[in-house]
Structure 1
């Protein structure tokens, strides 16, 4: 199976690397070509200079870029992948996007006789590097089954959530939950600090109980140490939570906690924390005291 990976950011770079380790014939493309060259030096695979060159012989094309416009540029744009992929090939979008874009891409892919699946991932940079991502998929069962060997290369879990777009909606739920957990964790840590509790001891105790979470176990101590350089910038979380609020509006829902969290992230971004990890949310609460 020939696999192409488009987009070699903090997620795509290691994900494509895991594919070569799993034995796939991998070709990569990145808009900043030097990053693709660096990948080629780190892993055994092919480095393409254009999207067309990268995808023309691929059985599966995987995509992980920044936002909806980036995805369109790489897929349906003038020199996008759909114009050069062979009929019957598969396009998988691992980017976190709007559900409406996933549905738009599915229709565009069908017009080129290409199969499509939306498959956003969760687990962050560490999950990508360790090959233990959670993959939320939207599409049909047969395609999901066919892609299992690919997903297994860099994923710990892949779940079919329903039709195209449902993978993105599941990722929205994921991001809402992360924002809510970090909000509560931030308030709890502030109280612990003010009360004179040792944060490492608190985290070590609570992580095994009902309050335990990935965020507490992996970010609780570093949040108290004001350390936030962990790869997933809050500018991306602002984008993701914006999709959540848009989808909620379409469903006739209001999400007050999510609205509060995105406002705090926007304030932090404006104050220069835009490249910090999502756990930087505690700074917003500290500044409100």
Structure 2
């Protein structure tokens, strides 16, 4: 079995590595920065290619994890994109967080070329990618998913086909909408507790075992209390994702008042110079308000 991987960012780099380390697969990688592809190949024993098309040639499965809709189109249907070289019957698995519209568009383009296509955005962050315990939300045709699922299993602990093309991206939007509200609520709660003079580490230890508990509380309360936001999913990326959610909501008519508000709060974080701070940096807004 031959596998190609396109995009070696903080998520794609370890995910592709698991296909080799856990799956024992032969993987050829492409990355816009060739030096990073060379570094990956040296670490995992794979091969590199100069273009997405070259990486995808003769591959049975092609994975991608890039930045946005335009990046995804470039590496698939662009002049040197993977779709130009993939053999009939091969399956393209896209782990980019993108729009449902581009997923449907590329699914149709793939089918027109005799290819499979699965939109499969992930949740779990950099730590989840490095530890191979991501959650993967998938959309596409059942037969394509059935072929791809054993490979996706090498870097995930949960994966599921949720419907036709675009369903994976829509499920990721649900995920990000839920996270946005949770992180804002946690930021408000911790800021309130600190203003009240409470020992917040102790408070979180208690309330995290009750109805208020969440993954965000367990994993992000310390950075909020300490005011250190140097790891995790960046505010810039969250704004990109929330923009996708808000755009889709205008299509399907689902109101997202809290999501729209939190999106603007992240815009304030960006203005503070925190575009690369992780999502727990919402609490920094309160510190800035105190100074103003």
- Using the TM superposition, give the Cα deviation of residue 2 of structure 1 relative to its aligned residue in structure 2, in angstroms: 1.2
Unaligned runs of 5+ in 2: none
Q: Which moved more, 1:189-198 or 1:100-109?
A: 189-198
- Using the TM superposition, give the Cα deviation of residue 221 of structure 1 relative to its aligned residue in structure 2, in angstroms: 1.2
- Using the TM superposition, give the Cα deviation of residue 4 of structure 1 relative to its aligned residue in structure 2, in angstroms: 0.8
Following the alignment from structure 2 to structure 1, what is the Cα–Cα distance between the partners of residues 254 and 133?
33
- Using the TM superposition, give the Cα deviation of residue 60 of structure 1 relative to its aligned residue in structure 2, in angstroms: 0.4
Unaligned runs of 5+ in 1: none
Aligned-pair Cα RMSD in Å: 1.1
Report matched runs for 1:135-214 at 5 Å.
135-214=136-215
Following the alignment from structure 1 to structure 2, what is the Cα–Cα distance between the partners of residues 3 and 216?
38
Report matched runs for 1:1-40 at 5 Å.
1-21=1-21, 22-40=23-41
Where does residue 279 of structure 1 map in the other structure? 280
Where does residue 135 of structure 2 map in the other structure? 134
- Using the TM superposition, give the Cα deviation of residue 254 of structure 1 relative to its aligned residue in structure 2, in angstroms: 1.9
Q: Normalising by the residue count of structure 1, what TM-score does the alignment of the two structures yield?
A: 0.97
Q: C-alpha deviations, 1:48-82, integer Å up to 9, x for none?
A: 22222211011000000001111011111111110
Partner SS state of residue 273, structure 2:
helix
Following the alignment from structure 2 to structure 1, what is the Cα–Cα distance between the partners of residues 260 and 50?
41
Report matched runs for 1:115-130 at 5 Å.
115-130=116-131
Partner SS state of residue 78, structure 2:
coil
Asked if the contact 2:51/2:81 (under 8 Å) is kept, the reply is no
Q: Normalising by the residue count of structure 2, what TM-score does the alignment of the two structures yield?
A: 0.96
Following the alignment from structure 2 to structure 1, what is the Cα–Cα distance between the partners of residues 39 and 206?
42
Residues matched between the structures, number: 289
Where does residue 66 of structure 1 map in the other structure? 67
Q: C-alpha deviations, 1:166-187, integer Å up to 9, x for none?
A: 1000000100111000010001
Q: What stretches of structure 1 move > 4 A for 4+ residues in a row?
A: none
Following the alignment from structure 2 to structure 1, what is the Cα–Cα distance between the partners of residues 94 and 50?
20
